[in-house]
Structure 1
Amino acid sequence: MATQKKTKKPVSHALFWTLIKETPGYKDAYKDVIKEGLVNQYSGGKTCSLSEMYRKYPAEYSNMLEAMKGSTEQRQARYEESRDKAAKRVIAAICAWLDKVGYTFETRSDKIRYVLSMACRAANCSNFNAIPESKLMAIYNLYCNKNSVNIDNPATDYVISKN
């Protein structure tokens, strides 16, 4: 019986690269130098390799990422900004779908109120502002897919049988 060799997927350091771009004085041309400096600093001079630090010194790696995230206020501002953008995208996608389907409203505020209630139902949540960003992205993708479907000649309108 032959044994299968398991190949490990390389670790993605996406969070590290996202956070490093937010460091003061970051320039794309010097990203490797900045990376080596940070890794060397937080590993205590043990290594300059990000992958090696991840494998051999996981505690130092975690401490480095936490330090790069910034203070509580900076983290909160970053979260609020991305969540706000996701919420606006959801509202726009649902509004586009309502326009496509042909719904009409007396005022713009009525339409927005209806859109917010639809998003809340989709997220199974009673407050739009309490919907987490991950759910907002899922709702956005759902309505983008609905908007991309052509409703002019739906396949369900064809007569299958005369009986």
Structure 2
Amino acid sequence: MAITKKQTKKRAPSHALFWTLLKETPGYDPQYKDVIKEGLVYEHSGGRTTSLSEMYTKYPREYSLMIEAMKGTPEQRKNRYEDSADLARKRVIAAICQWVDKLGYTFESQEAKVRYVIGIACRAANCGNFNAIPESRLSAIYNLYCKRNSVDINGNLELDFPVLPN
């Protein structure tokens, strides 16, 4: 029996971020999206190409700079991404609070509970500042605690039986 290498088919990138940012550019018209795309690619590639895929493969530095330029100024970036990061932080706090409630912990105030929960999130992210946790990590922590919340910790008397020593 001959050993063969598993062949993997390389997919072309979708450029989803490019198309999303293109829709947010001032003066965008869906009828002229290809013309706008070609103009942006031509401008940022230094006149070398009008193909987005070609720019991605042959000129990756220029492609990255074009994406960063399309994201806008630091103020525009902050306004665009701050809402989603804030929502992710609130979701993490809510999921961990639900888990803490499920375990039966009690606190002297709601603020103490939130401080405790933020500490759990920081330990889970291995980060000292809750607001510095990246959004991707917040999403992972949220999913972890949603999974923990979905597990029943009470048990079922009909199905549970003591394990006897051998």
Shift in alpha-carbon separation, 1:154–1:110, aligned structure 2, 3 A: farther
Pick from 128, 137, 141 the counterpart of residue 139 of structure 1: 141
| SS of 2:131 mapped into structure 1 | helix
Query: 2:67 matched to which residue of 1?
Result: 65
Pick from 4, 9, 31 the counterpart of residue 11 of structure 2: 9
Residues 80-111 of structure 1: CA deviation (Å, up to 9, x unaligned): 33322221111011112223333333322122
Distance 2:60 2:53 in 1: 10
Write the letter of the residue equivalent to 1:161.
L
**Structure 1 residue 142 displacement after superposition:** 0.8
Distance 1:82 1:15 in 2: 16
Query: 2:38 matched to which residue of 1?
Result: 36
Distance 2:12 2:145 in 1: 34
Write the letter of the residue equivalent to 1:144.
C
The correspondence of residues 1-163 of structure 1 with structure 2, limited to 5 A, is 7-26=9-28, 31-44=33-46, 46-153=48-155, 158-161=161-164
Q: Which moved more, 1:22-31 or 1:94-103?
A: 22-31
| SS of 1:99 mapped into structure 2 | helix
Q: How many residues align?
A: 163
Shift in alpha-carbon separation, 1:124–1:45, aligned structure 2, 3 A: closer
CA RMSD of aligned residues (A): 3.1
Residues 23-72 of structure 1: CA deviation (Å, up to 9, x unaligned): 22445565444333422433455543311222233343233212102122
Write the letter of the residue equivalent to 1:160.
V
Report % sequence identity.
65
- Return 5+ residue gaps in structure 1 as ranges: none
User: Structure 1 length normalisation: TM-score?
Assistant: 0.77
Q: Which moved more, 1:16-25 or 1:65-74?
A: 16-25
User: Structure 2 length normalisation: TM-score?
Assistant: 0.76
- Return 5+ residue gaps in structure 2 as ranges: none
